[in-house]
Amino acid sequence: MSQPDPSARPRVHARFQSFDTPAQRQFGATRLAQLREVLARRGLCGYVIPRADAHQNEYVPAGEERLSWLTGFTGSAGLCVVLQDAAALFVDGRYTLQADTQVDAAAFTIVPLARTTPDRWIEDHLPKAGSLGFDPWRTTLDGRDKLAQAVAAAGGILVALDDDPIAEIWSDRPAPPLAPVRLLDTALAGESTAAKLERVRAELAKDKVDAALISDPHATAWLFNMRGADVAHTPLPLAWALVPAEGRPTLFIAPEKLSDPVRAALAENADLAPEAALEGALARVAPGRSIRIDEATGPVHLAAILERSGGKIAKGTDPVVRLKARKNAAEI
């Protein structure tokens, strides 16, 4: 079998990770006070701010840097719980020194995860009968269940919010990224999109699941042999996909990212729709069907739509995770 000419490979401009992201420590106390005012108006005792975006990405677009905007902490993992009389930033062992230099310790208590977890902290600090808000777009099903247990142990009430309180006070929040999508040649990917879809359908049939919501952009990029630049350090286009065990999948992606040739090529294997159409599509496909939602990346918000619409949540691992873990010769 002939090998692809390396000189014919498309040039990729990699953005290597650096640690010179400017912190905004000096704004922490003011922004924390503004957030508490918003929470008080909504009748909430507190709010949970994770590092992740709706896809649970490690690296997120500028407009999703909510934790950094609020606290000044720029690490790639962390979580903040804000109450009216306390605010804790939880970091792992990689970031204890960094957090000390970036975060206003007079406003936020820096809590290493080795000392205690957010769940235990909530049990100890949430007032009895207090309402703790969380963002169902940026929280997974497992994450929601852990919060629910902690809040119940504290005698409080867990509230899924319809909108993000931070968006109310972040006046200059950057717009969502619209980096152009490019497609990988099958010779570079090692397998066509059509063949990958057949393998995903076979996995769904084996698991007796009617469809899968693909929420991890790494999985959609692999499945459709596409790359982008919506986040730093990883060539990902942010997108969602709904793959039925029978029939054509739908790729939900901002149309501005697609040139005419890319759109035409993707349309050979999938229906294309803007991301705003995802919720309606899930509501239509849900009645009487079981839908796989990935435990690690599937948001509570979308799971709730499926359940309200008469669908059954099949919690488990996204079938793409297993398939893309086994590399072919071209990928190696």
CA distance 220 to 199: 14
* Domains observed in the chain: 25-169 (3.40.350.10), 182-325 (3.40.350.10)
What is the per-residue pLDDT across 65-116, written as a single tens digit (0 to 9) for each?
Answer: 999 999 999 999 999 999 999 999 999 999 999 999 999 999 999 999 999 9
Which pTM was predicted?
Answer: 0.91
> Hey, which residues does 183 pair with through a beta bridge?
226
**Which residue stretches of the chain are H helix?**
28-41, 66-71, 96-102, 118-125, 141-153, 165-169, 186-189, 193-207, 217-223, 260-267, 278-285, 300-308, 319-325
Residue 302 has pLDDT above 90, yes or no: yes
Q: What pLDDT was estimated at residue 243? A: 98
Asked if pLDDT for residue 203 goes beyond 60, the answer is yes
